[in-house]
Amino acid sequence: MTETLLELINVPRNHVLSTIHNYLTKMTSNYEPIRRLPNMQDAGPSELAQRDNAVTKLRSLFGLRGYDRAETPILEQTELYLRKSGGTLSSRLYGFTEPGGYEVSLRPEFTAAILRQTIDNMTDSNAVRIMYDGPVFRYARPEDEDGLKTRQFTQLGAELIGPSSSDADGEIIAMSLEGLNCLEIADTRVVVGHVGVIAKALEAFGLSERAKLFLIANISELKKGGSNSVLEKAATFGFLPDTAVADLETSDNRTQIEEKIDRVLSDGIVGPFGQNIGPRTVEDIVSRLSKKLSETDDPDNFKKALQMLSAITQINGNANNALQNAKKVLSESGLDPAIISSCADVISSAQVEGVPIEQINIDFGLARGITYYTGMIFDIYSNENNSKSHQTLGGGGRYDGLTRALGYDYDFPSLGFAYNLDALVACQRPDTESGSKTYFVSPENCGSVQAAVSEARKLRAAGKRAAVEYKNNGATSSSVQSEGESR
């Protein structure tokens, strides 16, 4: 009939087919498919089911310890996250100016917002126990050490606000491990550090607050054995006169120092303490820091403190051995070994909470990208997971000074931890069961769509998952099937 029609209208067949092809080509989208952003992940039904199951279990577990849920906005003023976090976190923020003129960011973590919410709504001095979960966002460049990590991930955590004793530290550490046990994640371990011990040891050298912050900020570099580079950087920022680094292979003059600071600042580090440099020039910064810091810090004491810190950051291993080695380093540095007692108290409190000493390691070189921690800090991981990806499952610590940094006129003892929930789910054994069965009702076998809908409603009324299998969704051999089997 098609050939006859073409003959009647006297149009060549090839021309008609070409016209149809051209028409269909024009109907095809000229747009490229829109792909996911780099390092962003979708989550399918099975993954979400496993995640929801983990959340339910952890909420129940934490609830038994008296923790209640709280939520905070995903979008907050950027300043909330910059307080006490310095340049490290600022480079990770997804920030922009919203239509109302506020500088805002997607939340990179929960702690600051949870603490703000709690303090604003606190009616008495009793301890407050809060748990939370939700998505967080941290940008990482491909060339960064963690550049391959997902930029959006789910955090689930808890905050204990009010207690200042090491007993509370033990509770938080024990909770973090209990959660892993609850999810049947095997061979777990906690690695504990202590910023408070480091800070107290540095105080014995009579250093300024800026000098102590500088050294603590460089713990990661010292742990890698980079004491010379840290010493050179200290001279750059004015902690030492030029003669104090004469033993270095390099010989920096004034111009080279300015060039070095300019290079550091252009890389996104606005200063050793996270100040906003504003309109000041690099020379202004060098002059101001050199004058202020060289007047308050003795170069010899600074170098002794750096030497002590270089030694203690190498201590990592079994808790009892690590504590003994730390005492030895403190003694050899002319310091009181009792400084280490606050870390020992944390370990003892964790043991009281039921954590075996064999499950605890101490690492005095443990550092945090977020700098509001003031006491114990810790990471948790599964040995199996750690050997594959070297990614911690979560971590936390004490941050007693954060309330003042957020603008309140007092310090409020606080501590907490958070899991990377996506990492926890990845550690769990795959769920071999499909969960609730879904019954698919065929209109063809039921006689009509109306009859199929009625049958599906009956199944749902009985508490069963049921859906109508509409035409072209696949043939079935009976009116109702469950995962391919006749009902």
Q: Which residue has the tokens 């007693």?
A: 400
Q: What is the pLDDT of residue 485?
A: 41
Per-10-residue mean pLDDT, the chain, length 487: 50 63 62 86 88 96 97 95 74 92 95 94 88 93 68 95 96 97 92 94 89 87 86 80 46 48 44 42 51 63 92 94 96 94 97 96 84 90 60 91 88 95 86 72 90 94 93 54 49
**CA 146, 152, 158, 163 torsion-angle sign:** positive
Closest to 81 (Cα-Cα) out of 105, 100, 97: 105
Cα 237 to Cα 220: distance, rounded to the nearest angstrom? 18
Cα 302 to Cα 208: distance, rounded to the nearest angstrom? 10
pTM of the predicted structure, to 2 decimals: 0.78
Tokens standing for 408? 């309140």
3-state secondary structure of 480: strand
Closest to 441 (Cα-Cα) out of 431, 429, 455, 460: 455
Q: Are 173 and 350 in contact (CB under 8 A)?
A: yes
Q: What is the pLDDT of residue 243?
A: 45
Cα 75 to Cα 70: distance, rounded to the nearest angstrom? 15
**CA 415, 420, 421, 427 torsion-angle sign:** negative
Exposure of 444 in the CB half-sphere (CA atoms within 13 A): 11
Count CB atoms within 10 A of the CB of residue 285.
Answer: 20
